[in-house]
Amino acid sequence: MRAKDAVGRRGEQWAAERLEELGWTVLDRNWRGHAGELDIVALDRDELVLVEVKTRTGRGFGHPAEAVTDAKLARVRKLGGQWLHEHDLRPRSVRVDVVAIVAEPGRPVVLEHLVGVS
């Protein structure tokens, strides 16, 4: 596994753990659809949340959330529709959140949860 992929997987694990600490139910991780992958699909009470996780080992490329473009959000929404079509679930609503993680070597991990970005 490439180092970049390992960092991403570790970030997704931290994000899933944080969501579960909040009392959410993680329904799927790394779900693959026609247009790509959903990092985390979770329930926040009766709301379905599609969670895009971005992890960086430094800030040289900016804040991790800056990598979540309008095109990426559109793809996540499309994948969310596909996920719902394939699963027997009728949530009250659907939203997209971003979990941005900075994991600089030798420093505490910083996790920021941006709610309802789309």
Mean pLDDT confidence for 15-41: 97
Q: How many domains does the chain contain in total? A: 1
**Which tokens hold the place of 71?**
């095109």
DSSP string, 7-68: HHHHHHHHHHHHHHHTT-EEEEEEEEETTEEEEEEEEETTEEEEEEEEEESSSTT--GGGG-
Secondary structure class of 94 (helix, strand, coil): strand
pTM, two decimals, is 0.94
Domain extent, residue 9, equals 3-114
Going by pLDDT thresholds of 50, 70 and 90, the confidence category of residue 1 is low
Tokens 């329930």 belong to: 43
- The CATH number of whichever domain residue 91 belongs to comes to 3.40.1350.10
pLDDT tens digit sequence for 56-78: 998 888 999 999 999 999 999 99
